[in-house]
Structure 1
Amino acid sequence: MTRTTTATIGITGVTGHVGGAVSRALEERGVAHRLLGRNPQRFDSRVAASDGLLESASLDFSDPERAAESMKGLQTVFLVSAAETAEREAQQLAMVGSLSRAGVERVVYTSFASPSPTATFTFARTHYATEQAIERAGLEHTFLRDNFYLDVLPLFAGEDRVLRGPAGDGRVAAVARADVADAAVAVLLDPQAHTRGAYTLTGPESLTMTEVAQILTRVTGQQYRYEAETVEAAHESRAVLDPEPWEMEAWVSTYTAIASGELAEVTQDVRELTGHAARSLEDVLRQR
């Protein structure tokens, strides 16, 4: 194993599924990197056991000045998008400024499939704005445009194992989080080969919500079904949870984005980046 001992890569979202998997894969390959998180003390034992391979520093999307200090000396940052809040877009745009002030040369950003200012899914608009800010800042970049996560589709079901929402007969080419992590590692290990690249990461098939329910039923042995709602009914059924307006729109637009066809495209980008086939929903469920 070739070991790199000077950290020039920073990883955000290290306590999450994707950022954590990317960090572990780099560590296994002997690639030094800096763990960037709100509570870097959580990484103390891991850093101490790494024999100088790992560093840690504080990064909070709500504190862009400190984030800039924490990223100094890094050439590349794997930027996992901020938590879903009303301030998400403002925080991500501020983080782009932090990257520039820190002197970071390159960002690998977890964006979203079909980003645009008029995207149906509300957070796809936030990702579009962030991509545009990265380009305006003159940062070298690679955009990993993830579809919805296969790992999260089971959570669309309520306790009664019914998936409810205004997705109609629309299809979604959801991707496994593990495949997103594998793709990110491939880019980070050879970033110049992917400069200015934008990859739409999907699973191997495009599924309706009815088909998702059928696969869940087959794999788990429990009965799932999809119940289509109108947009109005979707707002009414979720109102009992008293969400904030931005949260309600994000929830409902998750389904209307599927209905729109914007998330139906299946690509080969996972295979192109990783060299292996994309995992299916059945693969993800069986691995769990």
Structure 2
Amino acid sequence: MRVLVTGASGNVGRFVVKELQQLGEEVVVAGTNKQKLIGIFGSDVEAVTLDFTSPDTFKEAIKNIDRVFLMRPPHLGKVKDMYPFIDHLSEQSLQLVVFLSLMGVSRNPFPPHYRIEKYIEQKCLPYTHVRPGFFMQNISGVHAEEIKQQNKVFVPAGNSETSFIDARDIGLTIAKMLHQPEKHHDKAYTLTGKEALTYNQVADILSDVTGKDIVYDKPSMLAYRKYYIEERQLDPTYVTVTMMLYLMTRLGTAKPVTADFSEITGKEPTSFKQFALDHVAAFK
């Protein structure tokens, strides 16, 4: 049987696909833009159209599928838009559904991930909730522009600490779970790196790796919102969600360090310095 990977073109999905292939699994990648998926993965995997808001795409997407990696698309406005597909999954004979959730969500009912977790459980699906910390790729992605152009890390996290994790490590962990589904039924894991860093420490590591003098700007929430909406012209809803996450970070929710990654994979998580070395071009 085969593994369906939703969100395959995203930060985590690409690595899930890569690691599943390394394990010899037959992979089907799903998304709203089938041609984009074909462009990314070529003929190595089968690409199918899947739109959570279009139930007529469900049947073909899960044909001959017995395991699913499920993630909520960032653009999906309403949590309930995910429910019809989860309903459809509950009618199939599946070995495991791995849902990409959020660190600390079991104690925080406000993010949409909390309600999706609960709905999956209510449907009696064999599930694993993966709750990663902040992606290192956020620094090399959305926040890289200020690092490159202004030599500053611009996030409203105050003096808090964050146990960043590399999306490559998340992808490896999820692939291991899907490869041996019987080991992970009805469980939840929190994935973090091996250390919690302040953003001052992040700036110091980036300075060391790039040879530039990078500082942590430590903006207020309002300054962050104004800059990212007016200067970067990012979607206000997206900016508001990130503000909520950074508010929770200030309250200490992103600080804990767990051993879940090592226990599942038998490896040490990637350090932030190694990540910065691997992605130095993003910061220079």
TM-score normalized by the length of structure 1: 0.85
Match 1:153 to one of 139, 144, 152:
139
Segments of 5+ residues of structure 2 without an aligned counterpart are: 280-284
Match 1:279 to one of 267, 270, 273:
270
- In 1, Cα distance between equivalents of 2:224 and 2:41: 46
Q: Indicate whether 1:173 and 2:159 are aligned.
A: no
- In 2, Cα distance between equivalents of 1:209 and 1:184: 27
Q: Cα RMSD (Å) of the superposition?
A: 2.5
> Counterpart of 1:235 in structure 2: which amino acid?
R
Deviation at 1:68, TM superposition (A): 4.1
> Counterpart of 1:262 in structure 2: which amino acid?
T
Aligned position for 2:115:
129
- In 2, Cα distance between equivalents of 1:44 and 1:233: 40
Segments of 5+ residues of structure 1 without an aligned counterpart are: 1-6
Aligned position for 1:208:
198
Match 1:192 to one of 169, 182, 193:
182
Deviation at 1:130, TM superposition (A): 0.8
- In 2, Cα distance between equivalents of 1:75 and 1:133: 19
Deviations 1:17-47 (A, max 9, x none): 3222222222233222222222334555898
Match 1:258 to one of 249, 256, 263:
249
Cα 1:102–1:113 shift into 2, 3 Å? same
Deviation at 1:283, TM superposition (A): 1.1
Match 2:173 to one of 176, 183, 208:
183
Which region of structure 1 is more displaced relative to structure 2, 231-240 or 134-143? Answer: 231-240
TM-score normalized by the length of structure 2: 0.86
Deviations 1:152-201 (A, max 9, x none): 22442512022233311111111001100110111011111011111101
- In 2, Cα distance between equivalents of 1:45 and 1:259: 40
- In 1, Cα distance between equivalents of 2:178 and 2:277: 29
Q: Indicate whether 1:11 and 2:5 are aligned.
A: yes
Deviation at 1:64, TM superposition (A): 3.4
- In 2, Cα distance between equivalents of 1:26 and 1:86: 26
Cα 1:39–1:217 shift into 2, 3 Å? same
Match 1:221 to one of 211, 216, 220:
211
Which region of structure 1 is more displaced relative to structure 2, 273-282 or 40-49? Answer: 40-49
Aligned position for 1:3:
none
Deviations 1:103-161 (A, max 9, x none): 54521111110114746xx6xx1111110110011100011111111122244251202
Between the two proteins, the alignment pairs up a number of residues equal to: 274
Preserved contact between residue 69 and residue 102 of structure 1 (Cα < 8 Å): no
> Counterpart of 2:21 in structure 1: which amino acid?
E
Deviation at 1:66, TM superposition (A): 1.2
- In 2, Cα distance between equivalents of 1:206 and 1:47: 34
- In 1, Cα distance between equivalents of 2:202 and 2:186: 34
